Amino acid sequence: MMLDKILKEFSSPFYLYDEDKIKDKINFLNNLELEFPRKFNFAVKANPNLAILSLIHRCGFGAEVVSAGELFKSLKAGFEPENIIFDGPGKTDFDLKYAITQKIHSINVENIEEVEFINDYSLSKGLKTNIGIRINPDIDGSTMDKITTGLSGGKFGISIDQIDFDTISNLEGVNLKTLSVHIGSQIIDYQKLLSSYENLIKIADEQNLKENIDIDTLDFGGGFAVLDHSDKEINFDSWKNNCNKLLGGKNFNIIFEPGRFIVADSCELISKVLYIKNSGNKKIAIIDCSFSEYIRPALYDIKPPIEVSNNSKDVETYDIAGGICESTDYFIKDVELPKIKVGDNIVFKNVGAYGSSMSSTYNSRPRPLEVLFNKDEYRVIRSRDTLEDLCKNEII
Ligand code: LLP
């Protein structure tokens, strides 16, 4: 088996990706019978590894970025500027200047002041920059509080009553082409997504009645769920039929920005049990991973699906903990597993999205190795940080 083979060569912890699973997800979306012009732009924040980005680019996707770093990596991985969208509620001058000079598809603003900056800088460079406005639709995505982004009172997007479309469309340095929306991540209820799309269509239709406004692109964001403890997902059949209904007879180019859906289930994080500790009435397996390598359980209280490498018939109840000196550094508590021995591998599933991308070097732990396999071939797509890497950029 692939994992056994790789474990002979590399020590844990490492992220292990299956190329076919990423391609399957991309093909699934590409083959949905959507009856309107559309493009999928991968949300790079879900996984910015260059090899993953390059694979996704080769499958015909564009990219959605939220920082100069993500833009740089996307360009490096091969995405064409005209297939890149820049989102984010806190773009710096540096982010904006870089995005403007690269002439990307659209900078979607989330603050009115961004428009002014983009206009002035573009004019100073003799450019006219395509922009979008991210609307805050005040729609609850009915997902976890920590990843909901569509509600009024939140920091995302701009409320419609704050936007002076006429002034923006009269500016010489910007070209308002897009409206965008993204109401959150891990969305199961496709009706919520549709409400946010419908809201955007209505605003665009209204504005397009004006002589000097021509919004031709609607960016519907991402959000398709891949849950950690259930197979429930968006009902894509109904979603697709309703999208077709909503957009029939309209003339918009549609953009979707899926991140998690493309990569989440393509990847496992392989760890090893270092110690088994009896503490009070608990049995705690301490592993060679921590929230530095995979923070989602500690940050969002999700219970990651896990597997143990042995097939012992005896079952015991464990807490699985990392080695960080903090009491939140647990992956899961009170989980029944085949009896664990020191040296067993514990495998976390569904970690391809917001796994490696949210890892850190806290406690000066090297960021882990990443390996990509395709059928029976595999290769390293990120080497483990060395101890010297941990000192890079620091000056005594
Ligand atoms: N577009 C925009 C503007 C976004 O902010 C996001 C994600 C996406 C697209 C992609 O959403 P997706 O399709 O992946 O749901 N770290 C959290 C998820 C944060 C999502 C942030 N924005 C987690 O691990 O659950």
- Pairing state of beta strands 282-287 and 306-308? unpaired
Cα 87 to ligand 1 centre (Å): 11
Q: Compute the distance between CA of residue 129 and CA of residue 361 in angstroms, rounded to an integer.
A: 37
Residue 378 has pLDDT above 90, yes or no: yes
Pair 294, 305: CB distance under 8 Å? no
The conformational region for residue 51 under phi > 0 = left, psi -120 to 50 = alpha, else beta, is alpha
Would the CB of 259 count as within 6 Å of ligand 1? yes
In a 13 Å sphere around the CA of 271, the CA atoms on its Cβ side amount to: 27
Q: Determine whether the shortest distance from the Cβ of 224 to ligand 1 is under 6 A.
A: yes
Note the residue count of the chain.
396
**Residue from 151, 196, 257 whose mutation best tests the ligand 1 pocket (most atoms within 8 A of CB):** 257
Task: State the Cα–Cα distance between residues 52 and 69, nearest whole angstrom.
Answer: 16
* pLDDT of 370 strictly over 90: yes
Instruction: Give the position of tokens 């909503």.
Output: 246
What pLDDT is attached to residue 144? Answer: 80
Which atom of ligand 1 has the smallest separation from the CA of 149?
5
Q: What is the pLDDT of residues 265-275, one digit of tens each?
A: 999 999 999 99
CA distances to 293, 301, 320 from 323, rounded to whole Å, are 11, 18, 10
Is 268's C-beta closer than 6 angstroms to any atom of ligand 1? no
Average pLDDT of the chain is 96
* Percentage with pLDDT > 90 across the chain: 93
Mean pLDDT of 194-205: 97
User: What confidence score (pLDDT) does residue 248 get?
Assistant: 93
**Confidence at residue 219, expressed as pLDDT on a 0 to 100 scale:** 98
Where do we find the tokens 């010489």?
Answer: 172
Q: How many A from CA of 288 to the centre of ligand 1?
A: 27
**Ligand 1 centre distance from Cα of residue 219 (Å):** 14
Q: Which atom of ligand 1 is nearest to the CA of 87?
A: 3
b/e burial code for range 249-272 (CB count within 10 A of at least 16 → b): eeebebbbbbbbbbbbbbbbbbbb
Taken in order 226, 227, 229, 234, the sign of the CA dihedral is negative
What is the position in ligand 1's atom list of the atom closest to the CA of 88? 3
- What's the 207 CA to ligand 1 centre distance in angstroms? 28
The residue whose CB lies within 8 Å of the most ligand 1 atoms, and thus the one to mutate among 185, 228, 299, is 185
What backbone torsions phi and psi does residue 386 show, to the nearest 5 degrees? -90, 170
Q: For ligand 1, say whether the CB of 185 is within 6 Å of any of its atoms.
A: yes
* Model confidence pLDDT, tens digit, residues 64-102: 999 999 999 999 999 999 999 999 999 999 999 999 999
The atom number, within ligand 1, closest to the CA of 187 reads: 15
pLDDT for 159:
95
The verdict on the CB of residue 108 being under 6 Å from ligand 1 is no
Residue 362 has pLDDT above 80, yes or no: yes
Ligand 1 centroid, distance to 125 Cα (angstroms): 33
pLDDT in tens, 230-259: 889 999 999 999 999 999 999 999 999 999
Q: What is the pLDDT of residues 161-172, one digit of tens each?
A: 999 999 999 999
Task: Say yes or no to pLDDT of 376 above 80.
Answer: yes
User: What Å distances lie between residue 395 and 389, 390, 391, 392, CA to CA?
Assistant: 13, 12, 8, 9
* pLDDT reported for residue 150: 84
Sequence-distant contacts of 50-56: CB under 8 A, at least 24 apart: 50/76, 50/77, 50/381, 51/372, 51/381, 51/382, 52/17, 52/22, 52/263, 52/372, 52/381, 53/77, 53/78, 53/79, 54/78, 55/19, 55/22, 55/23, 55/372, 56/22, 56/26, 56/262
Give the pLDDT of residue 149. 82
How many angstroms separate the alpha carbon of residue 147 from the centre of ligand 1? 7
User: Is any ligand 1 atom within 6 A of the Cβ of residue 352?
Assistant: no
Question: Is any ligand 1 atom within 6 A of the Cβ of residue 222?
Answer: yes
Q: Are strands 62-65 and 84-86 parallel, antiparallel or unpaired?
A: parallel
Q: What is the pLDDT of residue 27?
A: 98
Residue 143: which pLDDT band, with cuts at 50, 70 and 90? confident
Read off the pLDDT of residues 15-52 as tens digits, 9 standing for 90 and up.
Answer: 999 999 999 999 999 999 999 999 999 999 999 999 99
User: Residues 101-119: what's their mean pLDDT?
Assistant: 98
Report residue 147's pLDDT band, with 50, 70 and 90 as the boundaries: confident
Q: How far apart are CA 56 and CA 17, in angstroms?
A: 13
Could you tell me where the DSSP H helices lie in the chain? 2-9, 19-30, 50-58, 68-77, 93-102, 112-124, 165-169, 190-208, 236-247, 260-263, 296-300
Taking residues 192-213, what's their average pLDDT?
A: 97
Number of helices (H), then strands (E), in the chain:
11, 17
**pLDDT (average), residues 313-333:** 97
Report CA(172)–ligand 1 centroid distance (Å).
33
Q: Is the CB of residue 150 below 6 angstroms from any atom belonging to ligand 1? A: no
What pLDDT score does 142 carry? 77
Contact 127, 103 (CB under 8 A): yes
- As annotated, the active-site residues are 325
Give pLDDT, residue 139.
Answer: 87
Q: Between 231 and 285, where is the model more confident?
A: 285
- In angstroms, what is the span from residue 3 Cα to ligand 1's centroid? 29
Query: Per-residue confidence at 314, pLDDT binned at 50, 70, 90?
Result: very high
**DSSP symbols for 302-346:** ----EEES---S-EEEEEEE-SSSSTT-EEEEEEEEEPP-TT-EE
Task: Judge if the beta carbon of residue 284 lies within 6 A of ligand 1.
Answer: no
More confident residue, 145 or 359: 359
- Joined tokens for residue 1: 């088996």
The DSSP result for 238-256, as a single string, is HHHHHHHHHHTT---EEEE
The atom of ligand 1 lying closest to the CA of 257 is 9
- 10 Å CB burial of residue 340 (0-12, 13-18, 19+) is buried
For the CA atoms of 143, 144, 149, 150, the dihedral, rounded to the nearest 10 degrees, stands at 40
Query: Residue 64: CB within 6 Å of ligand 1?
Result: yes
Q: How confident is the model at residue 54 (pLDDT cuts 50, 70, 90)?
A: very high
pLDDT exceeds 90 at position 229: no
pLDDT of residue 185: 95
Is residue 3 helix, strand or coil? helix
Distance CA 282, CA 286 (A): 12
